[in-house]
Structure 1
Amino acid sequence: MLKSTLEALATKDQHATARLAAVTGTVELANLIPPTVSYESRGNLLIIGEQATITALANQFSALNSVTLLATEKSATAEKVENLFFSQAVSVKGYLGAFEVMCRVDGTITDTQVNLATVALGRNSFDIVLDMTAEGVVDTEIPAPGYYAAGRGRAVVADLVEELPAMVGTFDKPKYFRLNPDICAHSSRGVSGCDRCVDACPAGALTSNGHAIEINPYLCQGVGTCATACPTEAISYALPDPDNTQHFVFRLLERYQAEGGEKPTILFYGNRDEQAVVNALSTLPSTVIPVALEELATVGVDTWFSALAYGAHQVLLATNTAYIPATIDRVLADEISIAQAFLTELGYDADRICLFDFADAENFTAYDAALIPAEQTRFEGTKRDKLFAALNLLTQAAEVKPTRSELPANAPFGSVECQTQDCTLCMSCVSVCPTRALHAIGDRPGLLFIEQDCVQCGMCEKACPEKVISMKPGFNWDAESRTEAKVVHEEEAACCTNCGKAFAPASMVKMLTEKLQGHSQFQGEAIRRLSMCEDCRVRDIFAQMESDPESQLKV
């Protein structure tokens, strides 16, 4: 559909001809055989709602294996039907083929909740749920496959009568994400940190078990907001990954310009909006190049700025803004606010990256000039590497040369501050830092910090026993300073009184000696061991045990 529209518009001018050549001649890389998850459905349907409503619907789904009715309100006039249960307290969780419905069924002896599928079918779960309640039993913005909230207007019953009989069998769905827990900033050593991905999921597929992020691939709908919000790339989108998307944009713009096209504007859109894009193309300038994504929110600031660095004059994020679910809208708004803050700090127009509503197509005016000459080599590395590479180029070309800028509070950029007079260099902060932004000097007691690697997860602040570390959100525009390993705090090393080896910060040994000198276990000669290295301390303990066995009771 899009290709035929571009072909029809190709004779409009040279830009339209170049656009067609670029779009049709650039191969998009993707996973040929992506990982999948499978759903098993036997066609056991549960309908929830008012008694009169659901009993009238039961016969329309007779083609399914079974139909169970759960009335949340009784009706004195409704006819009696088989497999009808009553309950006002209902909870539903699961997905196609595996819906667990817990409720207290009216008329039973106990007040405890039961699994309704066990009572009604002798099975552990229902396969499909049709929710006719006005508020909806499940409150996620994007419901799981197999759950239809017709009562809230999210599905049409007449359409479901045709569709649901086909929801029987085995169905495969792509696994949209990759997860690398080794670089996750959510939690470390019992210290909690970043929750961006959990907050960004409109399908309720991401949860925290207190120690790590867990993703339910059966609930995941591939929206991609988790990967966009993740500051460390611990979660990355896989259909395709952003790296392939950025390489595609690079080759697309390269081909467009090679074919004689000028003044390109990149228009990102989700596949579901293809018809809206087709309708808008006849109105938009022929310099606007559409780029399809699985979902609009699967890419973020790194991809948008890479597009500007590769020669795009503007990046449009096209959607029907009135229909964006609240969570997706918030994640996009957060990313756009960061992007536009970067642009305005450099003296550029904020709407070089912006949301684009299809309804405004007739009023759109393209930018005549690029921000910088097109980068001839595509960026490599992590998504942060690519973002910083693009920002460095934009900074070099900008007339305004900021030094440090404030950013929105949720931006994963900034530094840390340390009250060094109270820091004992215990390295608790280093042990929890997910990116090694904070790390030890190594050959002497000291703490180093690389600002570019800090994602502002806050774990160092929470792990510090002296409470001397605090977050400082913002952006350092000096690339050399931002990437330099700076000394946060260092001090003289305490040397072992026995062998002379440096083994700890002098202030820590002093602090421990002062705090423990009154302790019963550190009386007499025992207090000396605090000034020894770990090896000499052990040898001293065993030497004393050998000469005075009763001293073991005092160790």
Structure 2
Amino acid sequence: MPTLICDCNKTMPLQEKTLGAALGENLTLHSSLCRREAGDFQSAIRSGGDVVVACTQEKRLFAELGGNTEGAVSPIRFVNIRETGGWSADAPKAMPKIAALLAAAHLPEPEPVPVVTYKSAGRLVIIGELDDAERAAAMLADVLDITLFTQGGAGAQERRYPVLGGRIDALAGWLGAFELKWTRDNAIDLDLCTRCNACVVACPEQAIGLDYQVDMDKCTSHRACVQVCEAAGAIDFDRPAQAFSEAFHLVLDLRAEAAFRQHAPPQGYFHVPDPADPRSLSTLLELRGLVGEFEKPKFFQYKQKLCAHSRNETVGCNACIDVCSAEAISSEKSRQQVKVNPNLCVGCGACTTVCPTGALTFAYPRAGEQGDKLRTLLGTYAKAGGRDAVVLLHSHEKGRELVEALGRAAQLKRAAGVPAHVIPVPVWHTASIGLDVWLSAIALGATQVAVLAAGEEAPQYLQALRAQMDVADAILNGLGYAGSHFRLIQARTVPALDQELVQLAAHRPRAVATPARFALAQEKRATLELAIDHLVEHAPQRADAIALPAAGSPFGAIEVDKDKCTLCLSCVGACPSNALLDNPQLPQLRMVEKNCVQCGLCEQTCPEDAITLVPRLLTTPQRKEPRVLNETQPYGCIRCGKPFGTLKAIEAMLGKLAGHSMFQGAALERLKMCGDCRVIDIHSSTDETKITDL
């Protein structure tokens, strides 16, 4: 796969021999690949193999040139090495990073995933004051089918669009499938109204506006309006309120308060609280393009058998529901699962980050593809002589724009730029990557993982990321890797990001001595095990157990109060991860600690309140082996001697029922028998009673 590099008119100190050695290629350095050296690009794309072009500035030009080149058959990939490294105060030292970025660009494209389809015929409802709504409608009516829902104001005399009115009861749905429910509770029927204005003139209280609705707070039941509207019959104060619903494909909401309060509203819904704001123009332009069929990736995969949400209608883990900014996840505790609405999901991936079991996984790209990229980046960086690598995760939109703006500022000597050891890695959303990938990056050779929050993240995302970072740092510090290895960078401006990266460069925590080479598994827990095993194996020092923060910890044990526990084993039945086990041979409660996800279902289920969660990471081999948490003597049937319960459980039951009127004499003794003997004893007693009666 040919790689074409260009120093952009000699503004980057690229070293083609160093880069070529790291990539295993003989590279030719260009200075004007997009202009007078474009022939080299055309020759490369006739080769048949994929071509990597180290320029995104002229991506459109290269694409057009490729389309006009006879015999061009090579797919073209683009990678930015200019703003991410070549334009920086550290540029002369950035060759290992640039080599890493070029190597990652050679990786195969992610495998396709299932898609979610939206269909919109352009049926738009505009909610707001009529004058504002009609102005917006005038810019959209040539491509969209518009209905107005009046919220007051004065509309045009001419009836240009259908107008609805009343009290909005509900608005739900998504692009192509919104449902608006309202109650028509006004005296004036807008369908019958001819806008003759006779009622407006006749009303002595001026209770009727040019939206042709009656303000009942002003109306004093004069009813002059009814008399002047006799011919049209549009006004009837005795008309009962009627409920209506109608389907729309798009919603433009001009009210001050949005109909959807979540951070990520449904696609197809647009809130413009100030129609006079010039920025509203971009919303109207976007609306014009939303006619047709649209697809997006189905971002998540869900495995119900791994879900720790509920058991037997008892709720344990709500992490994904609480963090979702689109309110796309709901509880189905009767089915022991959560439900994700793919039409509402915006692909942030925060649910997969906080999920302790891996029941929800991010599918675009898959974990294995993310791992291949990290392994290639860090491996090539180290091979080229790079040290103390920092992985900077940023979103593919605002984060990328901010990083590139920082590079341009560095070229103008207005910023330091991206440091040579900081490798920017674009992801779909920064909340989609969490503990498993972060720890894997450290195991693969990074010293730090930084996550850039550029202002598009929901507040709960930032809280979840901080909690996960606290857990990750606690693990590494407990293993002797000193320093802070994870950092959440909140920056919306170039100066703010520049300052954060300068501070990041000054901090060099301890790294793993021998980088790992494992591939990330699709299952989150499997990846975590690989990363932790490697970090434990090469740990500078190691405690047998590392205390972890309670918030967000996916590892831990439980403590059992043996004085309270009756070994009823309700906790075993509730455990979704097979961390808690019984023993078919003996009355025992056992635990495999590596399986525990700290969901709390055992704690919630225990009828004796005998269980307490202990967030920690056990680093000894015992974390993978069953160990006994509690055990007791079996209780043998007083008739046949067969064990059928535990001594403590039977004694507790006898103590509670001894004073009950139904459990006296023989009935109390039967509680000491196994099920079979209890039935035999009841029948024997019945037969003796019959004989006595005879």
Instruction: Report the TM-score when normalising by structure 2.
Output: 0.71
Q: Does 1:492 align with 2:633?
A: yes
Change (3 A) 1:550 1:302: farther
* Matched residue type, 2:511: L
**Mean CA deviation greater in 82-91 or 51-60:** 82-91
* Match 2:310 to one of 173, 183, 187: 187
Q: 1:134 aligns with which of 236, 249, 256?
A: 256
- Long gaps (5+) in structure 1: 118-124
Summarize the Cα distance change of 1:277–1:373 in structure 2 as closer, same or farther, 3 Å threshold. Answer: same
| Closer/same/farther in 2, CA of residues 506 and 255 from structure 1, 3 Å limit | same
- Number of matched pairs: 540
In the alignment, structure 1 residue 114 sits paired with structure 2 residue 244: yes
Counterpart in the other structure of 2:589: 447
Q: C-alpha displacement at 1:528, in angstroms?
A: 4.2
Letter of the 2:96 counterpart: A
Distance 1:284 1:31, change over 3 A: closer
Superposition pairs of residues 199-218 of structure 1, within 5 angstroms: 199-211=322-334, 212-218=337-343
Say which structure is richer in helix.
1
One-letter amino acid of the counterpart of residue 378, structure 1: F
Following superposition of structure 1 onto structure 2, how do residues 5-20 of structure 1 map, counting pairs within 5 Å?
Answer: 5-6=80-81, 16-20=94-98
2:268 aligns to what? 146
Give the counterpart letter for 1:242 in structure 2. A
Residue 261, structure 1, aligned to residue 394, structure 2: no
| Match for residue 471 of structure 1 among 609, 613, 622 | 613
In structure 2, distance between residues paired with 1:310 and 1:102: 54
1:165 alignment partner in structure 2:
288
In structure 2, the residue matched to 1:121 is none
Partner-residue secondary structure (3-state), 2:80: helix
Q: Residue 325 of structure 2 aligns to a residue in which SS?
A: coil
Quick one: distance in 2 between partners of 1:201 and 1:407?
22
**Would you say the 8 A contact 1:249–1:307 is kept in 2?**
yes
474-483 vs 60-69, which moves further: 474-483
Deviation at 1:127, TM superposition (A): 0.3
CA distance in 2, matches of 1:547, 1:170: 80
**1:418 counterpart letter in structure 2:** V
- Shift in Å, 1:237: 0.6
Distance 1:113 1:152, change over 3 A: farther
Tell me how far 1:408 sits from its aligned partner. Answer: 4.4
Which consecutive residues of structure 2, in runs of 5 or more, have no partner in the other structure? 1-54, 57-77, 188-238, 411-416
In structure 1, the partner of 2:400 is 274
Shift of 1:274: 2.2
- Do structure 1's residue 378 and structure 2's residue 518 form an aligned pair? yes
Q: Is the 8 A contact 1:425 1:447 kept in 2?
A: yes
Counterparts of 1:379 and 1:541, CA distance in 2: 63
Letter in 1 for 2:473: Q
Partner of 1:352: 485
Per the TM alignment, residue 452 of structure 1 is displaced from its structure 2 partner at its CA by: 3.1
Query: Is this contact kept in 2: 1:28–1:245, CA < 8 A?
Result: no
Q: Quote the residue 1:317 is aligned against.
A: 451
Structure number with bigger Rg: 2
Q: Does the C-alpha gap of structure 1 residues 76 and 159 become closer, same or farther in structure 2, counting only changes over 3 Å?
A: closer
Question: Which deviates more, 403-412 or 305-314?
Answer: 403-412
Seen in structure 2, the aligned counterparts of structure 1 residues 534 and 251 have a Cα distance that, compared at 3 Å, is: farther
C-alpha separation in 2, matches of 1:410 and 1:288: 27
Distance in 1 between residues matched to 2:668 and 2:551, nearest whole Å:
47
Identity %: 31
Shift of 1:179: 0.8
Secondary structure in 2 matching 1:507: helix
Secondary structure at the aligned position of 1:397 is classed as coil
1:193–1:458: 8 Å Cα contact kept in structure 2? yes
Deviation at 1:175, TM superposition (A): 0.9
Distance across 2 between alignment mates of 1:376 and 1:341 = 20
Rounded to whole Å, the distance in 1 between the matches of 2:278 and 2:266 is 13
- Higher mean alpha-carbon deviation, 383-392 vs 187-196, is at 383-392
- 1:392–1:479 contact (8 Å) kept in structure 2: no
C-alpha separation between the residues in 2 aligned to 1:252 and 1:219? 34
Distance 1:112 1:499, change over 3 A: farther
Structure 1 position 23 matched with structure 2 position 146: no
> Does the Cα contact within 8 Å between 1:314 and 1:367 map onto a contact in 2?
no
Q: Taking structure 1 as reference, are residues 162 and 546 closer, same or farther at Cα in structure 2, changes over 3 Å only?
A: same
Kindly indicate whether the alpha-carbon contact (under 8 Å) linking 1:498 and 1:536 is maintained by their aligned counterparts in 2. Answer: yes
Q: Which amino acid aligns with 2:620?
A: A
Matching of residues 23-422 of structure 1 within 5 Å = 23-26=101-104, 28=107, 32-72=111-151, 74-76=152-154, 79=157, 81=159, 82-107=161-186, 109-111=239-241, 113-115=243-245, 117=246, 125-151=247-273, 156-211=279-334, 212-272=337-397, 273-281=399-407, 283-320=417-454, 322-345=455-478, 348=481, 350-356=483-489, 357=491, 359-361=496-498, 363-364=502-503, 365=505, 370-378=510-518, 382-391=523-532, 393-394=534-535, 397-398=539-540, 401=543, 403-422=545-564
Amino acid at match of 2:583: I
The one-letter amino acid paired with 1:328 is: Y
Task: Give the counterpart letter for 2:289 in structure 1.
Answer: A
Equivalent AA in structure 1 for residue 512 of structure 2: I
CA contact (8 A) 1:448 1:489 kept: yes
AA matched with 1:22: A
Alignment partners' CA distance in 1, 2:617 and 2:508: 30
**What's the CA shift string for 1:33-90, capped at 9, x where partnerless?**
3111211211110011122211222222112342111122x22576463422233544
3-state DSSP of counterpart to 1:421:
coil
How many angstroms apart in 1 are the aligned matches of 2:466 and 2:444? 24
Partner amino acid for 2:100?
A
Q: Does 1:462 align with 2:616?
A: no
Shift of 1:326: 1.8
Partners of 1:506 and 1:443 lie apart in 2 by 15
Task: Note the aligned Cα RMSD (angstroms).
Answer: 3.2
2:436 is matched by which residue type in structure 1? D
Partner of 1:438: 580
Call closer, same or farther: CA 1:530–1:133 in 2, change over 3 Å.
same
User: Which amino acid in the other structure matches residue 60 of structure 1?
Assistant: M
CA distance in structure 1 between the aligned counterparts of 2:171 and 2:262, rounded to whole angstroms: 11
Quote the offset at 1:309 in angstroms.
1.3
Aligned residues of 1:149 and 1:155 also touching (Cα < 8 A)? no
Residue 523 to residue 224, structure 1, CA distance change in 2 (3 Å):
same
| Deviation larger for 166-175 or 479-488 | 479-488
Moved more, 501-510 or 82-91: 82-91
**SS of the counterpart of 2:379?**
helix
- Distance change in 2, residues 1:193/1:112 (3 Å): farther
Task: Work out the CA distance in 2 between the residues paired with 1:538 and 1:112.
Answer: 63
Shift of 1:143: 1.2
Q: Which amino acid aligns with 1:471?
A: L
Offset, 1:388: 5.0
Asked if structure 2 preserves the Cα contact closer than 8 Å seen for 1:461 and 1:471, the reply is yes
The alpha carbon displacement at 1:4 in A equals 5.0
**Partner Cα distance (2:107, 2:393) in 1:** 14
Confirm or deny: 8 A CA contact 1:341 1:350 kept in the other structure.
no
Provide, for residues 325-346 of structure 1, a one-character-per-residue CA deviation record: whole Å limited to 9, x for no partner: 2232222222223333444555
Choose 56-65 or 102-111, whichever is displaced more. 102-111
Q: Which amino acid aligns with 2:362?
A: Y
- Distance 1:423-1:257 versus aligned 2 partners, 3 A rule: same
Question: How many Å separate the matches in 1 of 2:323 and 2:81?
Answer: 35
Cα distance, 1:248 vs structure 2: 2.6
The 3-state SS of whatever aligns with 2:571 is helix
Structure 2 SS opposite 1:420: coil
The whole-number CA distance in structure 1 between the counterparts of 2:520 and 2:670 is 51
Which SS does the other structure have where 2:149 is aligned? Answer: strand
- Seen in structure 2, the aligned counterparts of structure 1 residues 544 and 170 have a Cα distance that, compared at 3 Å, is farther
Closer, same or farther in 2 for the Cα pair 1:34/1:4, shift >3 Å?
closer
Where does residue 122 of structure 1 map in the other structure? none
Check whether the contact 1:200–1:331 (CA below 8 A) recurs between aligned residues: yes
Q: Distance in 2 between the 1:155 and 1:229 partners?
A: 38
